[in-house]
């Protein structure tokens, strides 16, 4: 760093470097709690989420369903592409003390009218360990939302006023 800048900066902050012990204790406690939340998230991710996502990916691969799994930072994303619908599930430690499952379902094309997006967010507290079944429930919810409304039945025939439907 630039020496002149460092001297200027140190001259400004040195008088304020003494911090009361209570403030430092509160900071240490916050760091300790954050580590506990991080451990709960890592445990949930490694013992529940990753095995469940791995199982879903195997099913998708075996059935030649186009999908992508990616990770960045503390986020894991599963994206599935179908003919006119795609969905993405993003799992992340969204706050210091919470894990979030963001469900994005996008329907495209004229067949369904205008393009539409359905978003669902489920957030769970990391103060305590989360059950492994939660990951499977969230994945099933996501897969269910993608599959919903994919099958369209033929519309019922129009019946002119005063006529009876055929039997």
Residue ranges per domain, the chain? 16-147
Contacts 24+ apart (CB under 8 A), 81-90: 82/146, 82/150, 84/108, 84/109, 84/111, 84/112, 85/146, 85/150, 86/146, 87/142, 87/145, 87/146, 89/138, 89/139, 89/142
Look up tokens 């967010």; give the residue: 121
DSSP-derived secondary structure letter, 159:
-
Per-residue pLDDT of the chain (167 residues; tens, 9 = 90+): 899 999 999 999 999 988 888 888 988 998 888 898 888 889 999 999 999 999 999 999 999 999 999 998 888 999 998 887 888 999 998 887 888 898 888 877 655 556 778 888 999 988 888 898 999 999 999 999 888 867 666 677 788 888 887 77
**Stretch (H or E) spanning 68:** strand 67-72
């Amino acid at each position: 760093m630039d020496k002149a800048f460092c001297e200027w900066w140190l001259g400004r902050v040195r008088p304020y470097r003494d911090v009361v012990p209570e403030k430092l204790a509160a900071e240490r406690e916050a760091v300790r709690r954050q580590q506990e939340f991080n451990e709960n998230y890592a445990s949930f991710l490694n013992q529940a989420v990753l095995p469940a996502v791995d199982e879903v990916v195997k099913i998708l691969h075996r059935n030649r369903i186009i999908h992508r799994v990616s990770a960045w930072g503390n986020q894991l994303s599963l994206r599935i592409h179908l003919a006119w619908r795609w969905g993405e599930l993003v799992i992340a430690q969204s706050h210091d003390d919470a894990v979030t499952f963001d469900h994005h379902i996008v329907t495209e094309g004229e067949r369904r009218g205008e393009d539409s997006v359905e978003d669902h967010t489920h957030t769970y507290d990391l103060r305590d360990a989360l059950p492994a079944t939660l990951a499977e429930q969230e994945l099933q919810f996501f897969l269910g939302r993608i599959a919903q409304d994919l099958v369209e039945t033929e519309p019922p025939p129009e019946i002119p006023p005063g006529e009876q439907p055929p039997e």
